Amino acid sequence: MKILITGGAGFIGSAVVRKAIADGARVVNLDALTYSANLENVASVADHPAYAFEQADICDRAAVEAVFRNHQPDAVMHLAAESHVDRSVEGPLDFVRANIVGTAVMLEVARDYWASLEEPRRSAFRFHHVSTDEVFGALGEDGEFTEETPYDPTSPYSASKAAADHLVRAWGRTFKLPVVITNCSNNYGPYQFPEKLIPTVITRALEGKSIPVYGDGRQVRDWLHVEDHADALLTVLANGKLDETYCIGGDADHRNIDVVRMICAELDKVAPANTPHADKITFVTDRPAHDFRYAIDASKIERELGWTPRVGLQAGLAETVRWYVENPGWTQRIRERGFASERLGLVKA
């Protein structure tokens, strides 16, 4: 089985690349190497005979066609995207381009390629789109997202992912391209670019800086360890039904402020400078149109495919904190590339 994984130099994609190789698959990692990519994330497999890397932009049809032609994949796992909500407020057109146009190009190239395959490879081919629970919009105090929840995206990021999901479904219905979609909650774990909530808290705390919490910190998110997500994605690729959607979550929904306090408590155990770290928590202006609550009902993937998360949030946060403490060079090199951890995504009046 040879899997073409787009975005495999990013946070989740690299976890999928590492796990797919460990599981015995061959992998082609197609990535444009944007600001959030990091080839260090796949250094452990870079010399593996089952691994190949291709630097290409998913919006560049000729480049994507060449990757399909040269590597002849059996399946596509499409993760390449602009992924940070705050950046989508700063520059929404980048998200329209990468997430919508890029997905359309991937679908078109995959469609031509799939049509050219002989049986049984043609029937076995899969195009798996990796999406987010943010396409469903915000929940109130109660309820959970399911595969039937209507789309109601709020940010340019979630709207662009929703558009991509619609394109994938349309290519499935209109052209019979064999597609499957997953919508997952917030991921955390090693190798996450330090602009997202959990690595922001850890890396800023380790540097003795203030720990920004948006608004009053009462927004609720469900958290899933990235390796559990990678496991779920490979399970869906192998056994998911065509044209279906699977919601993936960690059954670990917590208020942001509580997650930040849990991280600070873990930091107090392993990073004695600047304790108690919670003293550095600073409430800052909220994100525009900040969705109040996300929670996932992941019973379909459990019932139909037997997948459940293995890593509890407390243990996963402890491991993640340790990883950032033990790998300061990883963050340092990102800082040296110009990442300054400044606040993004405030709409100017």
Residues that bind ligand NAD (CB under 6 A): 6-7, 9-13, 31-34, 36-37, 57-59, 79-83, 98, 102, 130-132, 161, 184, 186-187, 193
CB closer to ligand NAD out of 171 and 280? 171
In angstroms, give the least distance from the CB of 123 to ligand NAD: 26
Q: Which of 31, 54, 134, 165 is catalytic?
A: 134
- Least Å distance between CB 96 and ligand NAD? 11
* CA distance linking residue 149 with residue 18, whole number of Å: 32
Spot the catalytic one: 51, 54, 82, 157: 157
Q: Which residues partner with 77 through β-bridges?
A: 5, 128
Closest approach of Cβ 39 to ligand NAD, in Å?
A: 9
Q: Say which of 31, 54, 133, 227 is annotated catalytic.
A: 133
| Catalytic site includes residue 35 | no
Place of tokens 């060449």: 66
Residue whose CB is less far from ligand NAD, 81 or 179: 81
Identify whether 134 is a catalytic site residue. yes
Our CB check for ligand NAD shows the closer of 31 and 253 to be: 31
C-beta of 31 vs 227, nearer to ligand NAD = 31
How far apart are CB 187 and ligand NAD at their closest, in Å? Answer: 4
Q: In whole angstroms, give the CA distance from residue 4 to residue 110.
A: 11
The closest of 284, 144, 141 to 211, measured between CA atoms, is 284
Q: Which residues lie below 8 Å from residue 348, measured CB to CB, with a gap of 6+?
A: none
- Count the Cβ atoms, other than its own, within 10 Å of residue 116: 12
The angle at the Cα of 208, spanning 293 to 291, to the nearest 5 degrees, equals 10
Contact 104, 80 (CB under 8 A): no
- 119 annotated active-site: no
Under 8 Å between Cβ of 302 and 308: yes
Active site residues: 133-134, 157
